[in-house]
Copies of this chain bind each other. A is one copy, B any other.
Amino acid sequence: MEETAALLKQKGLKVTPQRLAILNLLKNTKEHPTAETIYKKLSSDFPTMSLATVYKTLEVLKNMGLIQELNVGEGSFRYDANTKSHPHVVCISCGKVEDLDESLLKDVMEEVKKHTDYQLVEQKLYFYGYCPNCQHKITN
């Protein structure tokens, strides 16, 4: 993943092992982890890394537009290397957070613009329900 290093450099950021690890982790997961989760996952590779570094790094990456911060309604933030603002589905049984196809947005935005005189620039769409897995559990 030399690509990740290039990304950081391009943004004028120093390339440190911690930054690489955090950004790569986010790029290679679909889990939308929290700062805490990231910290725990990396603590085997970086036993001395502090949670503060995770937060500082996430802040920097967010400001540089390399990641985005999600707020699913839990009281803590989740992070996503997909920076396009795309809709999410949250499983209300197991807590999993998944992406929804972004193609939804166009139609939705059209509709919304009819209903408001705000000049819209962004949106956050969260859908809640039972994932296929949890549907089975409940049925049984």
Binding site for B on A (CB under 8 A): 69, 71-73, 87, 89, 91-92, 98, 100-101, 103-104, 107-108, 111-112, 115-132, 135
* Residue from B100, B103, B112 within 8 A of A104 (CB atoms): B112
The answer to whether A125 and B128 touch (CB under 8 A), given A104-B112, A104-B115, is no
Docked Cα-Cα span, A131 to B118, in Å, equals 5
Known: A107-B111, A108-B108, A122-B128. 7 other contacts (CB 8 A): A71-B71, A118-B129, A119-B129, A120-B127, A121-B129, A123-B127, A124-B125
- Shortest A84–chain B CB gap in Å is 15
Set of chain B residues within 8 Å of A128, measured between Cβ atoms: 120-124
**Copies of this chain, tallied across the complex:** 2
Closest chain B residue to A128 by CB distance?
B122
Set of chain B residues within 8 Å of A127, measured between Cβ atoms: 112, 116, 118, 120, 122-123
The answer to whether A121 and B115 touch (CB under 8 A), given A71-B71, A73-B71, is no
